[in-house]
Amino acid sequence: MRKLVSALLVFFLLHGALSAQKPARKPNIIFILADDLGWGELGCYGNTYNETPNLDKLSTQGLKFTQAYSAAPICSPSRVAIMTGQYPARTRITDFLPAKTDRWLDPSKYLTINEALSNVGYYTGMFGKWHLDTDYLTNKGGPKAHGFDEVIGTETKYIADGDYFFPYDKINTFTTGADGEYLTDRQSAEACRFIERNQERPFFLYLPFYAVHTKLDAPEDLVNKYKKKFDAKYGEGEAEKYYGAANPRHEADHRDNPYLAAMLERIDAGVGQIMQTLAATGLDKNTLLVFFSDNGGAGKAGNNGFLRAGKSWLYEGGIRECLLMRWPGKIAANTVTNEPMAGTDFYPTFLEVAGTQNPPGNLVDGKSIVSLMMGKKAPAREAFYWHYPSETGKWKPRMASAVRKGDYKLIEFYLGGRLELYDLKTDPSEKHNLATEMPEKVKELKEMLDTWKIEVNAEIPDLNAAKGVTD
């Protein structure tokens, strides 16, 4: 009997020792990206017209950022910053990529974040909008060329004006589906299936929604729901006045938009489905879940809250984004940070979450914000920079560069060489230009900006080829 007890004791001691030595499984990372979602569209950021219960719940379960920035005021450069961790100016992708262009993200020159994670054992999937190569015949710079293990639902034609209902014309990777199927719903369903079939290994899931990019479109029943809500708020018949047959693109000059609200509700439902799938598979506690937008709300259709301007401008409305993060046991619930971060920071952050470092020789401009996520100090950095020469849009008034140091932000507009200085702590709406009142601060920030532009080899915009667009 004593021998049996001794043998069992040895067995359990050895088993315990081996279990203690077994490394913990790496956390999963899910990065959800909305398209053109304004800073003021979510309930948790103050919106009272749109309905975003799942995203609002996500904000209470983790960390909400009030000063998170995209690396550019428009889609392709903000996405290239996420994928590479570099300032878009370095990559020469500083505006949206048109249907015909010689600019694309070259796999031979850049190690994308999914590749870096794959190198340390992650299985990777990407379901949605890429927009870092528009040569759909060769797709030499597409997500597959950049090493994603699974690619589902990415664009196969130029998709600027949307393609939201099955059968899809511009996303023919979805060859099956029910008539009238909504694209956002399909993306969410594919993401949930990816989680379920990969629950036994660490994964990186990149889910870039096509919504809420214009042309705005959504299921009719949802649109009618929000039209009724619009009439209840503003008066009978007002929804038809703003969003009826006379406005086929649904981009009326009003911050409450029934079409955008309906599109956002489907995004929100998809986020809820992903949260439910994580809970059902037991992966929720070991998954970093991130929600972000590529740039500010577009033109008349977007709601950027109290921030100035929107998409394609370097004012706050063009670059300040909604950012929510949840990682149970690591990120405290129901927390808010006013510390700024930028889209270049996701790359080093995800690497640190994965327990690894940036490979030697791989240039990354961003800083890991893991310490900030954990309620500690933000990473030390000199400043944040932006550069928008508008080489595609050629919008002369919007061609600008900017720098933020501390609470002060300097914008250099190339048209006329105009300089604008704002104190974002006291004036986040950028109403009071301090340039004439604080010449020494202007000089300091302008010198920093000039030095940075040389460092990253930023291209100078061609004002002669630009358009005089003023909206």
Q: Which candidate, 447, 411, 415, places its Cα nearest to that of 430?
A: 411
The mean pLDDT value for 20-43 works out to 90
Amino acid sitting at position 126: M
What pLDDT shows up at residue 17? 45
Which residues face 335 on adjacent strands?
63
User: How far apart (Å, rounded) are the C-alpha atoms in residues 464 and 454?
Assistant: 22
What pLDDT shows up at residue 4? 47
Task: Return the minimum-mean-pLDDT range out of 20-34, 113-127, 321-335.
Answer: 20-34
H helix count then E strand count, the chain? 13, 13
What pLDDT shows up at residue 18? 41
Residue 319 has pLDDT above 70, yes or no: yes
Question: Model confidence at 2, in pLDDT bands (50, 70, 90)?
Answer: low
What pLDDT shows up at residue 109? 98
Q: Which candidate, 267, 258, 265, places its Cα nearest to that of 229?
A: 258
The mean pLDDT value for 89-109 works out to 97
Domains of the chain (ranges; CATH) run 25-381 (3.40.720.10), 386-465 (3.30.1120.10)
Residue 403 has pLDDT above 50, yes or no: yes
| Whether the Cβ atoms of residue 278 and residue 195 lie closer than 8 Å to each other | yes
Segment 220-243, tens digit of pLDDT: 999 999 999 999 999 999 999 999
| Whether the Cβ atoms of residue 45 and residue 304 lie closer than 8 Å to each other | no
User: How far apart (Å, rounded) are the C-alpha atoms in residues 27 and 342?
Assistant: 22
Segment 450-459, tens digit of pLDDT: 999 999 999 9
* Dihedral over alpha carbons 5, 10, 14, 20 (to 10 degrees): 60
Burial of 379 (0-12, 13-18, 19+ CB in 10 A): middle
Residue 3 has pLDDT above 80, yes or no: no
Report CA 125 to chain centroid distance, whole Å.
Answer: 16
The mean pLDDT value for 285-312 works out to 96
Average per-residue pLDDT for the chain: 94
User: How far apart (Å, rounded) are the C-alpha atoms in residues 120 and 111?
Assistant: 13
What pLDDT shows up at residue 164? 97
Residue with tokens 């096509």: 210
What pLDDT shows up at residue 447? 98
% of the chain at pLDDT higher than 70: 94
Task: Return the minimum-mean-pLDDT range out of 22-36, 128-142, 284-298.
Answer: 22-36
Segment 194-221, tens digit of pLDDT: 999 999 999 999 999 999 999 999 999 9
What's the chain's length in residues? 471
Residue 20 has pLDDT above 50, yes or no: no
Burial of 102 (0-12, 13-18, 19+ CB in 10 A): exposed
Coil/strand/helix, residue 343: helix
Residue 471 has pLDDT above 60, yes or no: no
User: How far apart (Å, rounded) are the C-alpha atoms in residues 364 and 412?
Assistant: 25
What pLDDT shows up at residue 391? 93
Element (H, E) at 420: strand 418-423
What pLDDT shows up at residue 27? 98
| Whether the Cβ atoms of residue 114 and residue 202 lie closer than 8 Å to each other | no
Coil/strand/helix, residue 23: coil
**What's phi and psi for 401, nearest 5 deg?**
-130, 160
Rg over CA atoms, the chain: 23
The model's pTM: 0.95
| Whether the Cβ atoms of residue 388 and residue 95 lie closer than 8 Å to each other | yes
List C-alpha distances in Å: 188 to 149, 152, 293, 324, 346: 18, 11, 16, 18, 22
| Whether the Cβ atoms of residue 137 and residue 161 lie closer than 8 Å to each other | no
| Whether the Cβ atoms of residue 46 and residue 305 lie closer than 8 Å to each other | yes
Peptide bond into 5 cis (omega under 30): no
| Whether the Cβ atoms of residue 229 and residue 49 lie closer than 8 Å to each other | yes
What pLDDT shows up at residue 173? 82
